[in-house]
């Protein structure tokens, strides 16, 4: 019998706690596959966030550090500066990175820190129960914007990829989505490139991944994937925002 | 032997430096020393000052309130610190720019024309060294050779040519004290 | 080696480097800027060394967290308001059982306060400071030489007990110049760091390293806390450091730390001239607090009372009272904020309260 699909050994056998239809599981797999394909499992250090991916260290079969909320880029900086031969990445959600950790991510990019950041944008706080995130869309109902996000009251959603792309130290920034198979393939290519950017010593790399949160969006898994396409992508356009890795 | 000293003056008069030179010199002579720049409420009023302790025994407090010696390079320093001289202590006044006499009668007071001495050497910067010379003559706290060693360390070899000028200023400061004792 | 006349805030970073510290992450704040400035000049010249000015105190302490997780000897320094900002990170470092050294050059507070010396951070330093049940080992130097020597102790204790260690100094220690000697220090046996994240090879046989302070199960969190508390107990038993000065046959025992303790020594000399024998207990470790040593001195028949002197509203005095526990009268002299008491004032207070 031929093997047509196999779990990457860079993921542990631990059963993930993510909800049905959540994008985290997909992105975890993509990151782990990239680590396997690049042959860097034995020197990669993962910095996981506070948020739904808080247990990331249980799933990635690599040395891991659990960082304080929003501080993963700073903690990853400390690690990378101590052991520059390690491949260091942060895996952060939108509350973690775009809200409380906005300063840390901006300055990690600004320093051209040679780390890789995987940024999950699902337009909501998942772990704490569906509160409004900086990335929550206008009109989107959450537990702290029960009448829908009102831009007069709390602004319009923040576009992290575009913002980071303006920073000199960022070498590679792309926004991808996991709403469909073709987009998942593109997402994996982007993640691989972001790790390669670090391996080549080019500077800071960030991949923003538009991802689903059916539980807190109040949608079925398939409705959630449709919503990424119909509502998120128009506001958060996919594509490469900056790439100086060939310079 | 225990010398507790407050050096005070305008910023730029070099009071922190002569305080440091005294501390270095004391250290070179194997004594215990401490040098503490202005701290606490005494920083108010636009004066720069430092507390310097030179002692044979380990130094208890480096923070000096009542001192054996107060060196006042300008009028505000005299106004502020005259009261901080211990009875029987010494007060050094830069008479070139302080027109006031000391009011205390229970201490030794020395009037040192620092600016005139500096002018006589054609270098306005060495007034502080003249004052340090006066202090050394009156206290014998450390040897002036040690002070010159300290100055050489601070100046570095590139500026070693300034040593004779500073040595002259120290000598003239000492002379002014000898003249007053006579 | 010849003595050098050095400022505390230059001698401290030099001592850290000599103790093997190769990583420094900090953010400017007065009055401790000489420390990062010194490190920024020295560390890049040392192989493998790295100084990095962080975007905030919050980021700096988290860089320390990451570097400590990677197994490095690492430190940060700051002054009171900046140390408040670091508390989140310090709690995580304590929870993740990582070693590091934090230097706090205390200034007056609360809020923005002043930039003058203070001892207002005693609570923050010795009672944990952030959330959760943890302690830092807190070392309080009273001279530049002692600060130098304690830096070696700080890094060793951090490694041995896998805990953050704080050097708690007032601004005077930082600004003062005193002769210092950088001599060889007794080497303590240091544990390996198999827990560090350095890269996991499944074929190597070493366990996967996970640096973490998250224990979502009640039992697991209990286990971690029990481990910490057992370690704190061991530290209390083994690592207390204290100076006793003139305590034999004294009538009054002063309890003071840092520069204030030295001012008290001058006050003791003034009292002696008036025929009153006063002694001093100077905690060098503020945590663990030298309870036993204080009580031994207080138990003497000659001792009538205790007097705590601090530049605070009496923060350490609370620990003194807990230790003495009513066995003899205790008293407090000092002011919160930045007022450094003079030796004359302290002596006058002792003599005045004696008559009363």
Predicted confidence (pLDDT) per residue in C84-112, tens digit: 999 999 999 999 999 999 999 999 999 99
pLDDT above 80: residue B45 = no
Which of C165, C180, C195 terminates a domain? The answer is C180
Subunits next to C (3 or more Cβ pairs <8 Å) are A, B
Q: Is B20 on the interface with C (CB under 8 A)?
A: yes
Q: Which domain holds residue B21?
A: 2-181
Within a domain: residue C226? Answer: no
Which domain CATH number covers C171? 3.40.50.970
The per-residue pLDDT string of chain C (356 residues; one tens digit each, 9 = 90 and over) reads: 589 999 999 999 999 999 999 999 999 998 999 999 999 999 999 999 999 999 999 999 999 999 999 999 999 999 999 999 999 999 999 999 999 999 999 999 999 998 889 999 999 999 999 999 999 999 999 999 999 999 999 999 999 999 999 999 998 999 999 999 998 888 899 999 999 999 999 999 999 999 999 999 999 999 999 999 999 999 999 999 999 999 999 999 999 999 999 999 999 999 999 999 999 999 999 999 999 999 999 999 999 999 999 999 999 999 999 999 999 999 999 999 999 999 999 999 999 998 77
Subunits next to B (3 or more Cβ pairs <8 Å) are C
Instruction: From chain B, pick out residues whose CB is under 8 angstroms from the CB of C349.
Output: none
**What was the pLDDT predicted at C1?**
59
C74 with A82: Cβ contact below 8 A:
yes
Order across the sheet with B67-72: list the strands. B108-112, B85-94, B67-72, B2-9, B48-55, B32-37, C177-180, C4-7
A78 with C64: Cβ contact below 8 A:
yes
Same domain, yes or no: C170 and C261: no
**What was the pLDDT predicted at B44?**
46
Q: Give B20 to chain C, closest Cα distance, Å.
A: 8
* pLDDT < 70 stretches in chain A: none
Same domain, yes or no: C23 and C166: yes
Q: If pLDDT is split at 50, 70 and 90, which confidence band does B41 have?
A: very low
SS3 of chain B: the string is: CEEEEEEEECCCCCHHHHHHHHHHHHHHCCCEEEEEECCHHHHCCCCEEEEEEEECCCCCCCCCCCEEEEEECCHHHHHHHHHHEEEEEEEEEECCCCCCCCCCCCCEEEEECHHHHHHHCCCHHHHHHHHHHHHHHHHCCCCHHHHHHHHHHHHCHHHHHHHHHHHHHHHHHHHHHHHHHC
**What was the pLDDT predicted at C344?**
96
Counting the structural domains of chain C, the total is 2
Token pair 């890094």 is at which residue? C155
Which domain CATH number covers B140? 3.40.920.10
Complex-level ipTM: 0.95
Which domain CATH number covers C290? 3.40.50.920
A63 with C200: Cβ contact below 8 A:
yes
Q: Which of B21, B61, B146 to mutate to test the interface with C (most CBs of C within 10 A)?
A: B61
Q: Which of A17, A48, A57, A75 to mutate to test the interface with C (most CBs of C within 10 A)?
A: A75
Same domain, yes or no: C121 and C258: no
The predicted-structure confidence for B16-25, as pLDDT tens digits, reads as follows 999 999 999 9
The predicted-structure confidence for B93-137, as pLDDT tens digits, reads as follows 999 999 999 999 999 999 999 999 999 999 999 999 999 999 999
Counting the structural domains of chain B, the total is 1
Mean pLDDT, chain B, rounded, equals 94
A77 with C63: Cβ contact below 8 A:
yes
Token pair 């003034």 is at which residue? C270
Q: If pLDDT is split at 50, 70 and 90, which confidence band does B43 have?
A: very low
Q: If pLDDT is split at 50, 70 and 90, which confidence band does B40 have?
A: very low
Q: Which domain holds residue C39?
A: 4-180
Give the SS3 label for residue A6: coil
Within a domain: residue C172? Answer: yes
Looking at the domain covering A24-243, what would its CATH class be?
A: alpha beta
Same domain, yes or no: C52 and C141: yes
Same domain, yes or no: C260 and C175: no
Both structure tokens of C56: 């905030």
């Amino acid at each position: 019998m031929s093997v047509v699909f196999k779990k990457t050994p860079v993921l542990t056998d631990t059963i993930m706690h993510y909800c049905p239809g959540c994008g985290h599981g997909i992105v975890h797999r993509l990151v782990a596959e990239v680590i396997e394909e690049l042959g860097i499992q034995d020197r990669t250090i993962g910095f996981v966030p506070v948020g739904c991916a808080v247990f990331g260290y249980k799933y990635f079969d690599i040395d891991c550090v659990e960082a304080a909320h929003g501080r993963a880029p700073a903690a990853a900086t400390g690690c990378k500066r101590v052991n520059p031969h390690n491949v260091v990445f942060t895996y952060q959600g939108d509350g973690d990175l775009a809200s409380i950790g906005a300063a840390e991510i901006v300055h990690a990019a600004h320093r051209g820190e040679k780390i890789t950041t995987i940024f999950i944008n699902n337009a909501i706080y998942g772990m704490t129960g569906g509160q409004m995130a900086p990335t929550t869309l206008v009109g989107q109902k959450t537990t702290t914007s029960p009448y829908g996000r009102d831009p007069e009251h709390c602004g319009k959603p923040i576009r992290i990829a575009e913002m980071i792309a303006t920073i000199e130290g960022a070498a590679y920034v792309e926004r991808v989505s996991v709403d469909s198979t073709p987009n998942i393939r593109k997402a994996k290519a982007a993640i691989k490139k972001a790790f390669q950017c670090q391996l080549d010593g080019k500077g800071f790399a960030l991949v923003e991944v538009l991802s689903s949160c059916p539980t807190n969006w109040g949608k079925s898994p398939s409705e959630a994937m449709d919503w990424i396409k119909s509502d998120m992508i128009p506001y958060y356009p996919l594509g490469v925002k900056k790439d100086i890795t060939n310079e | 032997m225990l010398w507790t000293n407050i050096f005070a003056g305008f910023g730029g008069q070099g009071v922190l430096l002569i305080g440091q030179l005294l501390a270095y010199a004391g250290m070179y002579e194997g004594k215990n020393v401490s040098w503490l720049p202005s701290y606490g409420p005494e920083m108010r009023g636009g004066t720069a000052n430092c507390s310097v302790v030179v002692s044979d025994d380990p130094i208890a407090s480096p923070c000096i309130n009542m001192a054996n010696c107060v060196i006042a390079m300008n009028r505000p320093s005299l106004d502020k610190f005259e009261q901080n001289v211990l009875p029987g202590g010494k007060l050094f006044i830069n008479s070139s720019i302080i027109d006031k006499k000391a009011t205390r009668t229970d201490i030794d007071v020395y009037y040192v024309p620092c600016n005139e001495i500096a002018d006589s050497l054609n270098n306005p910067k060495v007034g502080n060294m003249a004052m340090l010379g006066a202090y050394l003559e009156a206290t014998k706290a450390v040897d002036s050779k040690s002070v010159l060693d300290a100055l050489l360390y601070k100046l570095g070899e590139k500026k070693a040519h300034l040593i004779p000028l500073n040595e002259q200023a120290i000598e003239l400061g000492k002379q002014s004290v000898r003249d007053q004792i006579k | 080696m010849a003595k050098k006349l050095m400022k505390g805030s230059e001698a401290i970073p030099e001592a850290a480097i000599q103790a093997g510290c190769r990583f420094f992450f900090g953010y400017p704040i007065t009055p401790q800027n000489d420390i990062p400035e010194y490190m920024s000049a020295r560390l890049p010249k040392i192989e493998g060394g790295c100084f990095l000015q962080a975007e905030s105190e919050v980021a700096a302490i988290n860089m320390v967290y990451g570097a400590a997780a990677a197994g490095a000897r690492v430190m940060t320094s700051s002054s009171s308001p900046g140390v408040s900002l670091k508390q989140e990170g310090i709690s995580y470092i304590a929870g993740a059982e990582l070693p590091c050294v934090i230097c706090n050059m205390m200034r007056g507070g609360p809020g923005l306060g002043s930039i003058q010396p203070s001892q207002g951070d005693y609570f923050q330093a010795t009672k944990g400071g952030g959330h959760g049940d943890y302690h830092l080992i807190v070392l309080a130097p009273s001279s530049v030489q002692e600060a130098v020597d304690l830096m070696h102790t700080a890094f060793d204790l951090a490694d041995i007990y896998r805990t953050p260690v704080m050097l708690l100094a007032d601004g005077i220690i930082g600004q003062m110049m005193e002769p210092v000697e950088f001599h060889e220090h007794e080497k303590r046996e240091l544990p390996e760091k198999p827990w560090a994240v350095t890269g996991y090879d499944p074929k190597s046989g070493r366990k996967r390293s996970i640096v973490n302070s998250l224990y979502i199960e009640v039992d697991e969190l209990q286990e971690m806390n029990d481990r910490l508390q057992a370690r704190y107990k061991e530290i209390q038993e083994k690592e207390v450091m204290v100076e006793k000065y003139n305590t034999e046959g004294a009538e009054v025992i002063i309890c003071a730390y840092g520069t204030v303790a030295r001012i008290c020594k001058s006050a003791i000399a003034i009292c002696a001239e008036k025929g009153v024998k006063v002694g001093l207990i100077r905690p060098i470790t503020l945590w663990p607090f030298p309870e036993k040593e204080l009580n031994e001195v207080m138990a003497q028949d000659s001792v009538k009372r205790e007097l705590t002197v601090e530049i605070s509203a009496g923060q350490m005095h609370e620990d003194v009272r807990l230790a003495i526990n009513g066995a003899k009268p205790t008293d407090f002299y000092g002011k919160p904020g930045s007022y450094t008491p003079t030796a004359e004032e302290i002596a006058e207070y002792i003599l005045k309260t004696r008559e009363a």
